[in-house]
C-alpha cells in the first residue's frame, strides 16, 4: 500500500531530500590506469575477452558467439567501457555516505578486541593470499584505530565424499576438501549490534 501511495502521490508533496554532490575522486579510473586482475576459471560455455591490449579490462562473454556477433559485442563494450564500474571509485556522482554500510550498535556495548588465532603455515598462506586479493580490489583497507578487532579463521570448502581404506581395509567415507574459505568471527560484534526488529 505504501509503495502504491507513493507512486500515485504528487511528487511536489514529497519532503525535500538533502542530497549533496560527492567530491570528485582524485584517483584515476580503471580505464585510464587498468589494474592487474586475477582471472578465475570459468564454466565451459563462457570465456574472457579484453577491452584493452595486453589483457586489460576483462569481460566475460559467451563462448558460442559467432565471429561477427563477438566483434559487434566487443565493439559496443569498447566504445562504452567508461560506463562499466571496474572498481568502486569508478562510480561517479554517488556520495560514499549514501552507499556505505553503517552498523547500529546497542547503547551499552563495549568494543571487543580479539588477538589473531595461531594458524599453521599452509592456512597462513591461504589467508595472506585472500587478504592481498581484497586489498588489491580495494574491498578492504588497513586501519589502526578500530575499537573492534575480530579474528580471521579458515574453514574447509566441502567437496564430494570419497571412500578411503583404513588399516583394516574397511572403506571409510571421507569428505574431500577442495579448498579453504576465509571467514571472520563476528560473534562479539553481532551480540552488540542493534537488531532490526
- For the chain, list the domains and their CATH numbers: 1-100 (no CATH), 103-192 (3.10.10.10)
Query: Which pLDDT value is given to residue 61?
Result: 92
Q: Is 122 helix (H, G, I), strand (E, B) or coil?
A: helix
Query: Which pLDDT value is given to residue 188?
Result: 85
Which residues are paired to 173 by β-bridges?
163
> How many degrees, rounded to 5, is the angle at CA 71 between CA 65 and CA 75?
130
Contact between residue 163 and residue 172 where contact means Cβ atoms under 8 Å apart: yes
Query: Which pLDDT value is given to residue 62?
Result: 92
Q: Is 137 helix (H, G, I), strand (E, B) or coil?
A: coil
What cell does 193 get?
549490534
Instruction: Give this prediction's pTM.
Output: 0.41
Query: Which pLDDT value is given to residue 68?
Result: 94
Q: How many CB atoms lie under 10 A from the CB of residue 144?
A: 4
Query: Which pLDDT value is given to residue 69?
Result: 93
The conformation of residue 63, written as its DSSP 8-state character, comes to T
Which residues are paired to 182 by β-bridges?
154
Query: Which pLDDT value is given to residue 12?
Result: 54
pLDDT lower than 50: segments of the chain: 22
pLDDT in tens, 89-135: 677 777 766 777 777 787 888 888 888 778 888 888 888 998 898 88
Query: Which pLDDT value is given to residue 121?
Result: 86
Query: Which pLDDT value is given to residue 7?
Result: 60
Q: Strands of 46-132 (E only): list them.
A: 46-52, 56-62
Amino acid at each position: 500500500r505504501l509503495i502504491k501511495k507513493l507512486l500515485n502521490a504528487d511528487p511536489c508533496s514529497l519532503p525535500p531530500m538533502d542530497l549533496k554532490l560527492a567530491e570528485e575522486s582524485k584517483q584515476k579510473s580503471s580505464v585510464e590506469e587498468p589494474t592487474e586482475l586475477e582471472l578465475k576459471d570459468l564454466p565451459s560455455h563462457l570465456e574472457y575477452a579484453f577491452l584493452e591490449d595486453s589483457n586489460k579490462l576483462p569481460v566475460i562473454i559467451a563462448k558460442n558467439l559467432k565471429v561477427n556477433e563477438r566483434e559487434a559485442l566487443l565493439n559496443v563494450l569498447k566504445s562504452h567501457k567508461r560506463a562499466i564500474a571496474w572498481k568502486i571509485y569508478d562510480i561517479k556522482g554517488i556520495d560514499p555516505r549514501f552507499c556505505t554500510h553503517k552498523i547500529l550498535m546497542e547503547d551499552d556495548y563495549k568494543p571487543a578486541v580479539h588477538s589473531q588465532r595461531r594458524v599453521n603455515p599452509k592456512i597462513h598462506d591461504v589467508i595472506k593470499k585472500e587478504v592481498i586479493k581484497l586489498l588489491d580490489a580495494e574491498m578492504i583497507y588497513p586501519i589502526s584505530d578500530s575499537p573492534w578487532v575480530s579474528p580471521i579463521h579458515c574453514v574447509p570448502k566441502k567437496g564430494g565424499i570419497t571412500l578411503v581404506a583404513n588399516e583394516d581395509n574397511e572403506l571409510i567415507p571421507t569428505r574431500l576438501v577442495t579448498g579453504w574459505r576465509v571467514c571472520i568471527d563476528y560473534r562479539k560484534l553481532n551480540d552488540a549490534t542493534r537488531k532490526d526488529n
